[in-house]
């Protein structure tokens, strides 16, 4: 008998790693299509750039490491990283933003640690934080949803803005954004945070055109779409329920308490749950089988801690959408959580 030792992800289902990765990417499709509907085809352009770059970077690094290229690429992990990063980037961000992010995610966060199963951080979120800190202007250049635009940006103009930084009329993205009268280009989370810092109440901030009854127009439906995709992943047993449920429940409880204590300065649970990348983070990012906890008790603690950090950073920190920071901080705590939540060996500690 030969004992085979393997690193995470430990797959206890009968599905291969490539099948799991493809299933997760398929579950992202409703959210991706919803994003494209509300924010334009730039979402799909960024996705193509990311997928092509991830394939090339992974192949080059595997060649340099003398590792098999086709079999490793076919596991789909690089493509899933590309998908998660691409849908986190503003649709009309310059093409090189996506390229830099993918190079860092695949080359540094994943392959530098040894490849799939050895990285301690989520590659997509590691790259997202790098981009957000290094290029804050480009990473916060979101435009309003298309229904708030006086004239939707044509596909050719979106393509031109991404690759040449100007549209067919010679206007830059900043020119396009500032030409939209009466509509703030900040995301709903950022708009509320800025309004509160200027002594406005949350209810006053949410009277803006980009808000609906519960969250931002477009953003709430994007979160609903990723929620549906996440439920599908749980139903097909691709992910466990522990992390997303504990994350969502903790964020809902913390935001509800905050709203009860100070309704003028803190938004309610529905706003937090259906704004930003909450559902994407809960079902597709925090559940990464490599960088997350593997025990059920550890998953509950891991998810709850991420939910708490998201609330604290959103309310007290400088970055409105805190999912990436919360996930990376808890990635560092995984070994400690695993140490104290490992199930006891059968018979261990029993009295003789």
**Contact (Cβ atoms closer than 8 angstroms) between residue 181 and residue 189:** no
Q: C-alpha angle 186/122/269, rounded to 5°?
A: 45
Give residue 252's Cα distance to chain centre: 18
Overall pTM surpassing 0.85 (yes/no): yes
Region label for 112, one of left (φ > 0), alpha (ψ between -120 and 50) or beta (otherwise) = alpha
3-state secondary structure of 225: helix
Residue 248 CB partners (closer than 8 Å, separation 6+):
273, 278, 282, 307
Question: At residue 305, does pLDDT exceed 80?
Answer: yes
Chain segment 62-99, per-residue pLDDT in tens: 999 999 888 888 888 999 999 999 999 999 999 999 99
Chain segment 247-299, per-residue pLDDT in tens: 999 999 999 999 999 988 888 899 999 998 999 999 999 999 899 999 999 99
Q: What is the pLDDT of residue 201?
A: 87
Report which of 170, 173, 202, 197 is spatially closest to residue 185, judged by C-alpha positions: 173
């Amino acid at each position: 008998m030969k004992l085979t030792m393997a690193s995470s992800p430990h797959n206890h289902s009968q599905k291969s790693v490539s099948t799991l990765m493809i299933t997760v990417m398929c579950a992202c499709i409703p959210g991706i299509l919803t994003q494209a509907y509300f924010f334009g085809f730039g979402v799909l352009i960024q996705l193509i750039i990311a997928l092509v770059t991830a394939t090339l970077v992974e192949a080059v690094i595997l060649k340099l490491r003398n590792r098999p290229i086709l079999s490793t690429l076919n596991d789909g992990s690089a493509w899933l990283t590309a998908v998660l990063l691409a849908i986190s980037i503003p649709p009309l961000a310059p093409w090189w933003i996506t390229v830099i992010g993918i190079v860092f995610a695949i080359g540094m966060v994943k392959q530098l640690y040894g490849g799939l199963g050895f990285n301690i951080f989520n590659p997509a979120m590691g790259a997202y934080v790098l981009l957000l800190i290094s290029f804050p202007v480009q990473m916060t250049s979101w435009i309003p949803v298309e229904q708030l635009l006086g004239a939707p940006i044509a596909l050719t103009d979106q393509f031109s803005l991404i690759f040449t930084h100007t549209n067919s009329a010679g206007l830059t993205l900043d020119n396009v954004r500032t030409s939209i009268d009466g509509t703030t280009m900040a995301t709903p989370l950022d708009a509320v945070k800025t309004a509160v810092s200027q002594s406005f109440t949350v209810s006053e901030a949410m009277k803006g055109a980009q808000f609906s009854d519960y969250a931002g127009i477009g953003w709430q439906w994007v979160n609903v779409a990723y929620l549906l995709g996440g439920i599908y992943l749980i139903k097909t047993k691709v992910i466990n329920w522990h992390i997303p449920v504990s994350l969502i429940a903790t964020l809902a409880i913390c935001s509800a308490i905050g709203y009860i204590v100070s309704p003028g300065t803190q938004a309610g649970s529905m706003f937090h749950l259906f704004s930003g990348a909450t559902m994407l983070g809960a079902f597709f990012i925090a559940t990464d089988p490599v960088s997350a906890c593997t025990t059920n008790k550890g998953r509950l603690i891991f998810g709850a801690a991420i939910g708490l950090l998201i609330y604290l950073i959103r309310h007290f920190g400088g970055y409105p959408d805190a999912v990436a920071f919360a996930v990376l901080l808890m990635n560092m705590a995984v070994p400690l959580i695993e140490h104290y939540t490992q199930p006891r060996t059968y018979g261990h500690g029993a009295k003789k």
